[in-house]
Amino acid sequence: MAALLQTRLTISYKDKTVLREVCLEINEGEVLGLVGHSGCGKSSLALAVLGLLGMKDGKVTGSIRWKGEELLTLKESAWLKLRGKEIAFVPQSPLSSLNPALRIETQLAEAWKLHQSGGKQECQKAILAALENVSLPAEKEFLRRYPSEISVGQAQRVLIAMAILHRPSLLIADEPTSALDAITQSEILDLFSHLNRKLGMSILYISHDLPSVASICDRIAIVNDGEIVECAPPQQIFFAPTHAFTRRLVAALPSMPQMPEKRRGASA
């Protein structure tokens, strides 16, 4: 597998360093989990990879290579072409991420127009295909609804549809199930797994909940104290962790999570 994304980055806010020399590699078609406690810097890393850390007055140094090209020196005009098209983002809180005043269709069409210049028919076709891919009703009636007229789970699917409209190579999902009930959480996890298999999309799946990511990740990177302390397939993380922090994390779990057969043999 060729590396899509390679990072070696240090992230700080004012005089506080949040992440130090964090090296991550995501390969084509791979699902990489990024797990760590609240405040350890997971969202900051996601924003850095999306070129958005400046919005929060954060500073990133080091290197972020995308398909071999250095992103840290990219101009904003180049970021605008890449962000949302090649690297897309699924945020944490679905309802607050949608505009309550606009119909679902308008919001999806706006996202489509950011990177496409085709006509209305082409746009409709792309939107309906995206809705089907996230198992939402590909119907006019659904598209005419406002965010207040759909469930939180459906809102999260709309955001995922928006993120995959342009068939990005990498999807970054930042705690995408934390606002959902347990059953909807599990359905959304299955959806990410389906998108990875069906569309071959790589996924950086961020979570503070180690068991929840076990079923969909090829490898899991554990963050603690500003560093990645271990990065390995779920099988190793759960049954043969090498770092003391990972061992403590696993020992604190009430039970071992289910891991599908296909992930068990994934290589590091």
Ligand X SMILES: Nc1ncnc2c1ncn2[C@@H]1O[C@H](COP(=O)(O)OP(=O)(O)OP(=O)(O)O)[C@@H](O)[C@H]1O
Rg of the chain over all Cα atoms, to the nearest angstrom: 18
The one segment of 37-45, 67-75, 104-112, 225-233 that binds ligand X by CB under 6 A: 37-45
Structure tokens at 29: 């078609």
Cα gap 91→176, rounded to integer Å: 6
Q: Is 18 in the site for ligand X (CB under 6 A)?
A: yes
C-beta closer to ligand X: residue 191 or 206: 206
Residue number closest to Mg ion, CB atom: 43
The listed partner (ligand X, Mg ion, none) that binds 208, CB under 5 to 8 Å by sort, is ligand X
CB 97 within 8 A of CB 90: no
Q: Is 43 in the site for Mg ion (CB under 5 A)?
A: yes
Q: Is 43 in the site for ligand X (CB under 6 A)?
A: yes
Cα gap 39→160, rounded to integer Å: 24
Binding mask 219-258 for Mg ion (x = CB under 5 A): ----------------------------------------
Segment holding 112, helix H or strand E:
helix 104-113
C-beta closer to ligand X: residue 57 or 261: 57
C-beta closer to ligand X: residue 43 or 133: 43
In the chain, at which residue ranges do the beta strands (DSSP E only) sit?
3-13, 16-27, 31-35, 58-66, 69-70, 87-90, 170-174, 202-207, 219-224, 227-232
Q: Is 57 in the site for ligand X (CB under 6 A)?
A: yes
Q: What angle do CA 176, 218, 241 make, to 5 degrees?
A: 100
CB 231 within 8 A of CB 27: no
Q: Is 20 in the site for ligand X (CB under 6 A)?
A: no
The listed partner (Mg ion, ligand X, none) that binds 39, CB under 5 to 8 Å by sort, is ligand X
Binding mask 152-191 for ligand X (x = CB under 6 A): ----------------------------------------
Residue 17 CB coordination number (10 Å): 14
Instruction: Check residue 259 and report its DSSP letter.
Output: -
Binding to ligand X in span 193-222, by CB under 6 A: 208
Placement of tokens 């789970």 in the chain: 153
Q: Is 15 in the site for ligand X (CB under 6 A)?
A: no
Q: Is 212 in the site for Mg ion (CB under 5 A)?
A: no
β-strand pairing of 170-174 with 202-207: parallel
C-beta closer to ligand X: residue 47 or 71: 47
Name the residues that contact Mg ion, by CB under 5 A.
Answer: 43
Name the residues that contact ligand X, by CB under 6 A.
Answer: 13, 18, 36, 38-44, 56-57, 208
